[in-house]
Each structure stands twice: as structure tokens, then as C-alpha cells.
Structure 1
């Protein structure tokens, strides 16, 4: 049962939503950043958006991504993201193993996170966006 699993606190793992300028326009993507000196294994990332728009409850599809191994001090592009969902709360649930220990953390980006005043350069990926740790 879940209550019997020891979930140690997550350290050294961040999630970023950043933009890239291309000839076709601006593209946004979600990146998982491992700052640890050890690899992450069997990484599972689920994402969904939800909120109230025009008085109605809205929710996106839940997406699931599997990364078999994310090396020490490395980055993985998890998914592209449509800026149309920035008006929703965007939730990312990340679970992974380090050796035989499981870790998991929920990263939540609220609609206010995507105010351009909050954008900054994310040095680990060299792109501008929003960082959550």
C-alpha cells in the first residue's frame, strides 16, 4: 500500500516550462532537470491541466511519459506544451528511482506563473521560461 512506501524528499530535481524561438514562431516545452550527481531511473511524468473557464470546469487529457534513465546532471525534454493551456493550472507528477529508493513530487504551475514578469533565464537549459523546484 502507498502508506507503506517511504517517500524521501525530492532534492536536485526541477521542472521548467520554457520557450524557444524558431523560424515558425515561439514553441514551448516542458523540461525535467536532474541536478543530482546520480542518475534517475524509471522516471514517470504525468501531466494535466485543470481549472474553471467561463464558469465551467475544464480539464485537459492526462499525458504520461516514461524516461528509462536520466543521467546525472542532465536534462530531458518531456513534452511540447501549447500556451493555450497556460490559463489553466498545470500539474506535473514526477516519480523516479535512485538506486532502490522511490521518489515523487508534484509540480504545480498556476495561471499566474506564466505572466511574462515571472519569466527568467533558466541557466541549466539556456532558455527563458518558468522554473519550479
Structure 2
């Protein structure tokens, strides 16, 4: 039965936003990364993202990553300035150790800023964590 299905939440897969220079656009933009801080690889990674707020919402976007090695990261999305005022949610599911895991990470509205930047392990860049 549905109540018997257990999907554990993994605490070692994260989402962070990092500000990077974009030579083509001659601007700095925030990019979102999925970070696998586990000591083992993860596979069949599905990331579903959406943004929402009082007056606006974005489309739901789905991405897949076949495999992420241990202690690795993958750039998944550009967050334009106009989306920083929304709550941006990233729901991640993946397989590891023969189990299905999940993790929901949210950037609160207006939480992505230079003032909140800290060092992001594995990426070794300054950025903002999603919670």
C-alpha cells in the first residue's frame, strides 16, 4: 500500500546559487547547481524546478542527470534577476545504494544576494544555499 512506501530524505545532496560572469551577455548572473556531497555516486537524478510568488509564477521545468560522481556538482539553471523576487523551489529525486531518495530545496523570495554568499564546499565558490 501507499503508506508502506518509504522514500528517505537525503541530507548530502544540495542546491546552491552562484554568481558568475557571463562573457556573452557582459553581465553577472546567478546560476543554480545541484551538489552531490555524498561519498558515493548518485544516478537517475531528476530535478523539478518552479518559481512562485503573489503575482507571478514560472513554468515547471524538469531536468535529468544520468549519473553524478561522488563529491561532484552540475550546473542546472540560470536564475534571471526578475526571478530572484520569487520563491524558487527545486525538488530532487535520485537513486543511490539501491534506494530512491528525495530532497526539496527552496530559495526564499529575495534570499539570493551577494550579502548572503558563503563558501560552498565541493564547488569551492561563494554562493547561497537553498533550504
TM-score by length of 1: 0.87
**Match status 1:18 vs 2:18:** yes
After TM superposition, list the pairs within 5 Å mapping 1:47-62 onto structure 2. 47-52=49-54, 56=55, 58-62=56-60
Q: Which residue of 2 aligns with 1:46?
A: 48
- Structure 2: gaps (5+ residues): none
Deviation at 1:2, TM superposition (A): 4.9
The 1:2/1:39 distance shift into structure 2, 3 A limit, reads farther
Measured on the aligned residues, the alpha-carbon RMSD in Å equals 1.7
Task: State the match for 1:84 in structure 2.
Answer: 82
Q: Which runs of 4+ in 1 moved over 3 A?
A: 1-4
- For the 8 Å contact 1:49–1:59, the answer to whether it is kept is yes
Unmatched segments (≥5 aa) in structure 1: none
Q: How many residues align?
A: 129
Alpha-carbon shift at residue 41 of structure 1 (Å): 0.7
Alpha-carbon deviation of 1:113? 1.5
Cα contact 1:121–1:127 (8 A) shared by 2: yes
The structure whose residues are more often strand, as a share, is: 1
Q: 1:127 and 1:99 mapped to 2: Cα distance?
A: 29
Contact 1:19 1:127 (C-alpha < 8 Å) held by counterparts: no
Q: Quick one: distance in 1 between partners of 2:79 and 2:110?
A: 16
Cα deviation code 1:50-75 (max 9, x no counterpart)? 011xxx3x210011000010111111
